[in-house]
């Protein structure tokens, strides 16, 4: 598939027309069934600038039959192969007047079921009964993320910015990246399209300036077994056939 080289080389790729209008509306409908009622679950975060649902695939599993449509299954199979599973998922709803922005960073942590001191697993945290840790870069290098766009996303409503090829540098302290020396891309994605990215690519997003909503489902994948009896805490398999 043509996107394999692009992901390996640049660290990301954008694929439009993965979902039909009807499929997007069904996903949105399932989300709204849950979010229309007051929910005090710790995985739900709400502010003026952002509404987010962590462990999205577990909180709203009814969306999965629409998310893993024929197109997405074929994309995963042809680019990455079989044996992958979900390791983390987050739903982001960035309101029309949001001032929320995220500075350049790499996605360096994974969610695990417990804390076990393990060689080269660093920077442990525990938030809302969820353990996170930074694994060796070899694990992060093999993982990938798919961002599903439920709205048209442009530079004016918080499309991701990435530094091309930065995933190939390994784990780098942010202050050691000179953005002016890097090639920056703004990842505009049509409604129903996806962005595939490597966790180690430096990425950021800006404030909304056009009063347009931006809803994205962020799903991380791996096919790796963790050492020392550690397990992915959000691990969930899906059918590719």
Secondary structure element (H or E) that encloses residue 195, with its range: strand 194-197
Handedness of CA 103, 108, 113, 118 (dihedral sign): negative
SS3 63: helix
Which strands, in side-by-side order, build the sheet including 184-187? Answer: 102-105, 203-205, 160-163, 184-187
How far apart CA 203 and CA 148 sit, in angstroms, is: 16
pLDDT digits (tens, 9 = 90+) for 34-51: 987 756 577 787 777 678
Q: 126 by DSSP, 3-state: which? A: strand
The answer for residues whose C-beta is within 8 angstroms of residue 128's C-beta and 6 or more apart is 42, 43
CATH number, position 214? 2.60.120.620
Whether pLDDT at 101 is above 90:
no
Strand partners, 125: 132
Eight-class DSSP state of 208: B
* Whole-number Å distance between alpha carbons of 13 and 155: 16
pLDDT at 39: 60
Do 52 and 45 touch, CB atoms closer than 8 A? yes
Average pLDDT score over residue span 70-82: 96
First to last CA, the chain: 18
* pTM of structure: 0.94
CB atoms within 10 A of CB 50: 17
Domain around 143: 3-237
- Determine the pLDDT at residue 38: 56
For residue 57, the model assigns a pLDDT of 97
Tally of structural domains, the chain: 1
Q: What is the pLDDT of residues 170-217, one digit of tens each?
A: 999 999 999 999 999 999 999 999 999 999 999 999 888 898 999 999
Q: How far is the C-alpha of 147 from the C-alpha of 218, rounded, in Å? A: 4
Name residue, tokens 């024929």.
70
The per-residue pLDDT for 211 is: 87
């Amino acid at each position: 598939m043509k996107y394999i080289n692009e992901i390996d080389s640049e660290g990301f790729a954008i694929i439009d027309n993965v979902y039909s209008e009807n499929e997007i509306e069904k996903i949105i409908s399932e989300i709204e069934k849950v979010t229309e009622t007051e929910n005090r679950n710790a995985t739900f975060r709400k502010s003026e600038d952002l509404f987010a649902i962590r462990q999205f695939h577990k909180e709203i599993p009814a969306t999965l039959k629409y998310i893993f449509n024929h197109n997405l299954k074929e994309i995963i199979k042809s680019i990455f192969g079989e044996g992958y599973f979900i390791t983390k998922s987050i739903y982001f709803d960035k309101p029309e007047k949001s001032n929320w922005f995220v500075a350049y960073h790499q996605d360096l942590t994974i969610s695990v079921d417990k804390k076990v001191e393990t060689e080269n697993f660093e920077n442990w945290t525990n938030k809302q009964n969820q353990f996170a840790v930074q694994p060796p870069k070899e694990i992060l290098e093999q993982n990938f993320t798919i961002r599903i766009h439920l709205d048209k996303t442009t530079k004016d409503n918080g499309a991701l910015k990435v530094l091309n090829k930065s995933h190939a540098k390994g784990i780098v302290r942010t202050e050691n990246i000179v953005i002016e020396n890097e090639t920056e891309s703004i990842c505009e994605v049509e409604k129903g399209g996806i962005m595939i990215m490597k966790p180690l690519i430096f990425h950021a997003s800006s404030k909304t300036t056009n009063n347009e909503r931006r809803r994205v489902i962020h799903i991380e994948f791996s096919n790796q077994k963790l050492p020392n009896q550690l397990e992915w805490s959000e691990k969930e398999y899906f059918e590719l056939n």
